[in-house]
Amino acid sequence: MQNIDYHDTTVRVRYAETDQMGVVYHANYLIWFEVGRVELMRALGIEYKRMEIDDDCHIVVVDVRCRYINSARYDEELCIRTRIAESRNRTIRFSYEVRRDSGQELLAVGETLHVICGSNGKPKLLPEKYRAILGTAPVSNPIGSQS
């Protein structure tokens, strides 16, 4: 598996994601964080669905942060840049940048912290096969930093 610093995912703002003025509603950024996170994991060779089915391993969100800098609007293409900020035995922290794809203008930065749990809801160790992959991911800059 190759070592990657980040993964970029492109999304287009849908009409349903905006308010009456055509500006993206703030909660949609959290959905885009999830899209970026899933695609980063897939790029690393890890599928959430397989983790849950094969290893009873769920990545539960326990903290979310988002700082809004500029507005996104209907029909714009956005780039969601996702990094693994930190990977430990029982937790993973992801960081995100949302940029306007046309000019790379920074719109928002954020991070999510996840605890590894079994289907019983209790924390557990991340299986070694995933730690081996996630442990190779470099630590990124903290929320709010420019890259």
User: Among all residues, which ones are annotated catalytic?
Assistant: 19
H or E stretch at 37: helix 28-43
Distance CA 7, CA 84 (A): 10
**HSE toward the beta carbon, residue 48, CA cutoff 13 A:** 13
Distance CA 37, CA 81 (A): 9
The single-letter DSSP state of residue 52 is H
